[in-house]
């Protein structure tokens, strides 16, 4: 699939890492509507795909070396599925909302809309008991006395 012009802008904006998206100002009305449409028009399995795509992308960073290993063929498959989802959402399911944001050339609005979907995908992933247990595992290494001293 080839992207040109505005479509390339949308692809880059929607794939901006979540850390960068969180620095984006609050979305304007058009991007908020697009973000809500992206959430409303995705299924649980779509949002799982978004979470897998985000995790595979973050895991590909050299900063993750030694902690996780990315299967390149699995990552490529997830990228292909994400491209299909992205295309479906912007060109069919949320076309009217995407068109407003695209025509205004609002890159930050597109980032905010994509970030909304990413937030929901991440929240759903974290509802998994195994994920929550892994997230909270660091607590066992905190010095209780240091925490008690904070309360005094």
Tens digit of pLDDT at every position of the chain (152 positions): 444 444 444 444 555 544 444 444 567 999 999 999 999 999 999 999 999 999 999 999 999 999 999 999 999 999 999 999 999 999 999 999 999 999 998 889 899 999 999 999 999 999 999 999 999 999 999 999 999 999 88
CB 86 within 8 A of CB 76: no
DSSP 61-125: SGGGTTT----HHHHHHHHHHHHHHHHHIIIIITHHHHHHHHHTT-HHHHHHHHHHHHHHHHHHH
CA nearest to 46, candidates 13, 88, 101, 104: 88
CB 111 within 8 A of CB 30: no
Q: What is the pLDDT of residue 138?
A: 95
Burial of 79 (0-12, 13-18, 19+ CB in 10 A): middle
Q: What is the pLDDT of residue 105?
A: 87
- CA distance linking residue 1 with residue 8, whole number of Å: 11
pTM over 0.85: no
CB 70 within 8 A of CB 59: yes
- CA distance linking residue 150 with residue 152, whole number of Å: 6
Q: What is the pLDDT of residue 26?
A: 60
> What is the number of other CB atoms lying within 10 angstroms of the CB of residue 90?
25
Q: What is the pLDDT of residue 107?
A: 86
């Amino acid at each position: 699939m080839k992207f040109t012009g505005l479509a390339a802008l949308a692809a880059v904006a929607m794939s901006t890492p979540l850390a960068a998206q969180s620095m984006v100002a609050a979305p304007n009305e058009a991007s908020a509507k697009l973000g809500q449409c992206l959430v409303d028009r995705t299924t649980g399995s779509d949002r799982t795909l978004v979470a897998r795509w985000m995790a595979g992308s973050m895991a590909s960073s050299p900063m993750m070396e030694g902690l996780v290993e990315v299967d390149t063929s699995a990552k490529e498959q997830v990228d292909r599925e994400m491209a299909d989802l992205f295309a479906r959402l912007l060109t069919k399911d949320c076309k009217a909302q995407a068109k407003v944001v695209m025509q205004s050339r609002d890159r930050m609005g597109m980032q905010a809309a994509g970030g909304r979907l990413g937030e929901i995908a991440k929240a759903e992933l974290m509802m998994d008991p195994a994920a929550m247990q892994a997230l909270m595992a660091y607590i066992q290494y905190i010095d209780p006395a240091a925490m008690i001293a904070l309360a005094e």
